[in-house]
Structure 1
């Protein structure tokens, strides 16, 4: 199975754009459009939604002619399985919707604590899941039931108090002969992995692609926004495959029909969007745009796949939700119903587990904003400034139950458990003007995320810098650092790709700013990978204040075979704000290394003599 689909995944497209000078990290950048605020109000309050991928691909479930098709996502089976249009049309015509009940989908979303639902109106295969007058290739014309699931879902969402939203693949359509992606049936078409630059100068391909936009894409957008009531979001995809002019025309069309409808970044770029999107299933994210949305599948595929049993646990899902909220983002979990429209039992159970946690802890997610304090080792934080509350999401019990809440200067009046306000409140005391010590009495009450409510007085006064711990370890993940240089960039941020890469120029560096509350001595460890041989290697320095270490890259077994190496010790002379920098000094291969994180381990008196300072 392929790990990704280049040019069809937002993270992959971002990674390529991030190679350009001046954009080392591929960060999500703000458009500066203040007019989005009114449109975004409900979305910022919601924080949690459902994605649904359902279409003819769901009937196949990843299999074609008895064989498992090697594709990252099951909804790409027409392309990956090289299924001719005429044969795929027969599959599409068999969607009988026997297991589809719109109110059951809405009930599942509500039970999970979700507030909006994004449904695939048309995916890359070009099959409209509604009654399209612009193109007869749709479920109402071809399907045996004659039902319109988009209309039924619009009405069910209205009854259930869920904001109805639509996904529309505007850039890619494998059924239309003039669009992109299908070179099996249409050999002269724009290829699925052809870059934008490869065809915009081709007069024939550009003219044909414009015909697809005029004949199908624009008319279908108009239908969806005209015939199905209020639409909260029109969720576009693969916008990196269209021009700025085309992206602008899509945005203007949406605004002309439903001015309040939100537009996501994948329409083309931040310039035309209300909010940003990282890549699919991207665990590590660079956040520089205040409004953004992270999308995750419950397993690996977006569309239903029989063989996909790599389910995330309920604890993983809840931690994704709280960590995203702590960075100011929304979370959307995808469900891939079976071909009949039935949501499988395992997906339902995961949604129910998420719902059980949300029923108790929703105040720590809904209507909150990102953490105003540094990212602690024990978990993360969300804030409700109107109610003067910080929600402390404890994902890992700290050693000895000594929870240090750093960076809060405002007077703190109370700390209590969110799940049970009547439970004995943990004791807490001030360590200094910015830090609190909370004494946790015993085991955490929730395996996923136990939440303490911190009540403070007055305007929030906080320090956003990470606090260096005087006991244990302090981690500095690369996605929390600032990359500097012409080539150094962040990898995709997916599982196993939470590193910087292309570190191929001496002088390129990565830095973190942190706060120390006391003097101390620390062992410095790096987690990195580097291919053996001539591909990677060289020397680097680690600097902090007046101290510096220099080390050689020791090869690992491969570019993503990460290991941890201790390189020496650094001394922190006293309280203050410091910058930790890793810099390439000499590169003797194609690249220095793929760095994942730096760890500073506080040393005890017994350990200190063993480390050189």
Structure 2
């Protein structure tokens, strides 16, 4: 079940570019289309539909599966029975103005709502299919019209999610094989059916009868639409994916299309996997999507709420990598945001109200990922988001070659200058207050002279911080070693079955120093084992893998110390010495702890 969940939400994020994609419009047109989206940075995702009424429970039993919106598939609920759910869907407490106001107060600039999810139910008045909120429910109104008006009134961009590749209600689409046994299965890959004339022909019928006509409704009945957010594009062909892009362009040329319309290379911007915390960036413009708990649609038993601090750190990390952040709410069947979602949105909103300048219209960090936090930039201003305040009262801004005009705390209305001096040619030392102003993330503004000139290579910190070399920040070389999904506790290098495979990081030392080295890894009992070496500056430290648990119960193993004799650029490499199991280990990170004299 876990594997299937991961495939459903992450396969489209991992699909490789297989061939050239039809050229889009000129770069100038593309940039013009993306202006509002790049400036916005932060949006609200809303998953709402018939599944919200069920809340993950069918006939008194919780249905297995992480996502409440997948209950029709997971519970094998027949179409005719699922249709009866609509008879009780009556969200009388829905208030479009309240929804959009809450998004705006949280600092969000655009809103993406599930106009139709995989269950095939249209959350708007559709003439194409009567399986919609107006014709099948006692509510009898079109909430998309209300949302369109509220978004216009509040200056928030209205955007639609549309499940183009899967529709479990339509007999010719994909996913529903309990009602339609000859249908394409929910987990069938493209290659398994593309040469099957019957399945291919029927699937084209679904596209032509429902998907394209409903898209036309969404793009012609609600005014300007900021973007169409497609999903599970790995289940359509390149030609079909491009047809969707072209169709959207033909109706609203400025409407954006996300990468999940097909795969990497398609659409205006890229997407991460669902709730992916760590990512390897391969596209300039991209978006990360996250839930506040686990499920996207409302689920009664899902109380796995993330903290405001955790969400803020995650979103700031995304901003520092030049990405947008889409945070999901799963409204209740009555049409309200639940109490905990409201609490989290208000917490994020408080931070954004004070620090929004460091988010809107910014681009990614020119100084990499400092150990103390993250950085964004706008013009000649660097915004330093400090997650971990320096105990010494000195904050090193690494890799910044520019001279400074001034530095100050963004939350300080008087913008009182912080003292600073150069710490070598490439670093700045700021003298900061004894304690952070904001326990979640304090923002320091650094204004520089001239165009920003920076070195993004990681700089070792000689005090205050542990120097962490995360697997997703390293460069893998070899046949089998690969990056895991990047989700919670899956930020590892995995599949280490070839002794020649290795992972390497580059770093810079500003001074001589001694560091204690620790390897953090997981090793599954009965499958992992062997020995490995960490090498830097000609020094080699060896470790013996200790298997424990399922491979994701992480173990911090001290390996010894290394000495950096002089300033300069260095490499850090982890190699296998012997592999005695099926794999060596799942490597999470290598740590260099400064040993102060």
In which range does the TM-score fall when normalised by the shorter chain? Answer: over 0.9
**Equivalent position of 1:418 in the other structure:** 410
- 1:501, distance to aligned residue in structure 2 (A): 0.9
- Higher mean Cα deviation, 340-349 or 51-60? 340-349
Once residues 159 and 4 of structure 2 are traced to their aligned partners in structure 1, the CA distance between those partners, rounded to angstroms, is 26
Aligned equivalent of 1:90:
84
Distance 1:547 1:313 in 2: 41
- 1:320 positional shift: 1.7
Please say if residues 31 and 270 of structure 1, whose CA atoms lie closer than 8 Å, have aligned partners that are also in contact. Answer: no
Cα distance in 2 for residues equivalent to 1:165 and 1:359: 23
Q: Which residue of the partner structure matches residue 525 of structure 2?
A: 532
Which residue in 2 is equivalent to 1:609? none
Shift of residue 424, structure 1, vs aligned partner: 4.5
- Does the alignment pair 1:512 with 2:505? yes
Tell me which residue corresponds to 2:136.
142
CA deviation string 1:96-138 (max 9, x = no partner): 2301111111111111111000010000000011111111111
Equivalent residue for 2:309, pick from 295, 301, 315: 315
8 A contact 2:406–2:418 mirrored in 1:
no
Alpha-carbon distance, 1:603 to partner: 2.4
- Output one character per residue of 1:152-210: Cα deviation in whole Å (capped at 9) or x when no partner: 21121111100010000011110001111111111111111111121112221111111
Whether 2:236 is the aligned partner of 1:239: answer no
Mapped contact 2:4–2:187 kept (Cα < 8 A): no
Counterparts of 1:60-459 in structure 2, within 5 Å, are 60-385=54-379, 388-422=380-414, 424-459=416-451
Q: Deviation per CA, 1:272-295, whole angstroms, max 9, x where unpaired? A: 211111111111111121111111
Q: CA RMSD in A?
A: 2.0
Comparing 140-149 and 552-561, the one that deviates more: 552-561
The separation in 2 between residues aligned to 1:2 and 1:505, in whole angstroms, is 26
- Partners of 1:3 and 1:72 within 8 A in 2: no
Offset of residue 87 of structure 1: 1.0
SS of the residue corresponding to residue 306 of structure 1 reads coil
* Partner residue, 1:6: 6
Segment of structure 1 superposing worse, 208-217 or 143-152: 143-152
Preserved CA contact (<8 Å) 1:239 1:268 = yes
Q: 8 Å contact 1:6–1:13 — kept in the other structure?
A: no
Tell me the SS of whatever aligns to 2:305: coil
DSSP 3-state at the match of 1:183:
coil
SS at match of 2:503: strand
- Aligned counterpart for 2:573 among listed residues 562, 581, 599: 581
Matched, 1:591 2:586: no
Please give the per-residue CA displacement for 1:418-452, whole angstroms capped at 9, x wherever unaligned. Answer: 01132644322211111122222222111111101
In structure 2, relative to structure 1, the CA distance for the partners of 1:3 and 1:505 (3 Å cut) is closer
Output the CA distance in 1 between the equivalents of 2:448 and 2:4. 45
SS at match of 2:274: coil
| Aligned equivalents of 1:542, 1:411: Cα separation in 2 | 37
* Corresponding pairs, count: 592
1:362–1:258 CA distance, 2 compared to 1 (3 A):
same
Q: Distance in 2 between matches of 1:45 and 1:424?
A: 28
Structure 2 SS opposite 1:526: strand
Cα contact 2:288–2:326 (8 A) shared by 1: yes
Aligned partner of residue 513 in structure 1, secondary structure: strand
Per-residue CA deviations over 1:339-392 (Å, capped at 9, x if unaligned) read 12111122122111111111111000000011100311111111012xx10001
* Local SS of the residue matching 1:6: helix
Residues 62-114 of structure 1, C-alpha deviation per residue, up to 9 Å, x if partnerless? Answer: 11111111111100111111111111101123222301111111111111111
Q: 1:452 to 1:285 in 2, by over 3 A?
A: same
Report the alpha carbon displacement of residue 14 of structure 1 after superposing the two structures with TM.
Answer: 4.1
Which residue matches 1:610?
A: none
Counterpart CA distance in 1 for 2:95 and 2:486 is: 36
Q: Tell me how far apart the structure 1 counterparts of residues 479 and 143 of structure 2 sit (CA, whole Å).
A: 49
Once structures 1 and 2 are overlaid, which stretch shifts more, 424-433 or 519-528?
A: 424-433
Q: Does 2:454 align with 1:462?
A: yes
Which residue is equivalent to 2:485?
A: 492
8 Å Cα contact 1:418-1:451 kept in structure 2: yes
Instruction: Tell me the TM-score normalized by structure 2.
Output: 0.96
The answer for the alignment partner of 1:56 in structure 2 is: 50
Structure 1 residue 252, shift from structure 2 partner:
1.0
Whole-Å separation in 1 of the counterparts to 2:70 and 2:541: 49
User: 1:294·1:329 contact (CA, 8 Å) conserved in 2?
Assistant: yes
The DSSP-based 3-state class of the residue aligned with 2:129 is coil
Residue of structure 2 equivalent to 1:25? none
RCO comparison, higher one (Cα < 8 Å, 6+):
1
Q: Distance in 1 between matches of 2:350 and 2:575?
A: 46
> Counterpart of 2:559?
567
**Structure 1 residues 105, 95: closer, same or farther in 2, change over 3 A?**
same
Q: State the SS of the aligned residue for 2:302.
A: coil
Please show how residues 19-38 of structure 1 align to structure 2 within 5 Å: 34=27, 35-38=29-32
Q: Is residue 480–residue 501 contact of structure 2 (8 Å, CA) maintained in 1?
A: yes
* 1:251-283 per-position Cα deviation (integer Å, ceiling 9, x unaligned): 111111111111111111122211111111111
Give how far 1:583 is off.
Answer: 2.1
Give the match's secondary structure for 1:571.
strand
How far, CA to CA, are the matches of 2:312 and 2:234 in structure 1? 31
Supply the distance in 2 between the matched residues of 1:374 and 1:190 (Cα, whole angstroms): 44
Distance 2:39 2:143 in 1: 27
* Higher alpha-carbon deviation: 422-431 or 595-604: 422-431
